[in-house]
Amino acid sequence: MTQKDEVDYLTSLCRWPQRSRRGDLLDLSSFWTSILHILEQKTTSSRIPDVDVGVWMTFLEALHNSAKNDGSLWKLVASATRTVFTSYTGRIVGRKLINIGLDASSYTEDPDLTSSILKRLADQQGPPNSPSEATADNNKRIKLPASVPYRSLKNSLEICLKTSDAKSAKSILESMDRIGDPYPLGAKAELYSLVLRCHAKVNDADNAKITLEMMKELSMKPRYVSNFTYQHKVEDIFSFHRPFVFSTVKSSMEKFFALWLL
């Protein structure tokens, strides 16, 4: 079998009908698991992947569509996405793969996958910007569509907060600033506040202070976030989990929130 024949064969498997002739959905979970095993084995068994990336994308699209009707398949989507990102490191990440991966991350509550996707996308964008530079760039390209859906970012950060995954939250925020998507300042303030609360929840005073400074640099004022409610929410998290840690960040918080009253 030539390489082209193999590509055609694997592609045809990935395009297997998902409904019966009567229109009923077929249970393809074991079928997709078998195909994933074949693709992963051929991809990871040598230094250079032995599967055309186009086959992977055909498989991911079909599996993604199938997962919308069978929630048990989202873990397979996440696994396949990780394999593609790990094995095809030199390829440009397209919007289709980004959206599939972010959906899988959301449904499997896996913010580490979101972090990996955004870091890869940010690496394609060139050198990192400071938060203020990213905002300036956004003002110039405000009519351009975001490459990463805002809802996906917020959902991932909410999962980070729920699972106390401050490491992924920090990575997501760093990549977001490098990518420079044109979100309104109020929307960005919500994302920053989730990251701040993540650091507070795990008693990471240093990164909490850094996040506060970034928010101050971006001029996130009361019209974007209620300063009274917000300040006390963060204070409550710090003081409840470890009171002595709160004392190290309290002065920075007081200075930051005082600026909002000017």
Q: Which pTM does this prediction carry?
A: 0.75
Report the pLDDT value the prediction gives residue 52, as an integer from 0 to 100: 85
pLDDT for 130 = 53
Mean pLDDT taken over the chain: 79
- Helix, strand counts (H, E) of the chain: 13, 0
Percent of the chain at pLDDT above 70?
Answer: 75
Q: Identify the bridge partners of residue 19 per DSSP, sorted by sequence position.
A: 25
Tell me: the pLDDT tens digits for 214-252? 888 888 764 444 444 455 555 555 554 454 455 555 555
State how far the Cα of 158 lies from the Cα of 156, in Å rounded to an integer: 5
Dihedral over Cα of 129, 132, 133, 139: its sign:
positive
Count CB atoms within 10 A of the CB of residue 21.
6
Give 60's pLDDT tier (boundaries 50, 70, 90). Answer: very high
pLDDT at position 20, please? 82
Provide the pLDDT for residue 111: 93
More confident residue, 190 or 134: 190
The residue to which tokens 């990440």 are assigned: 93
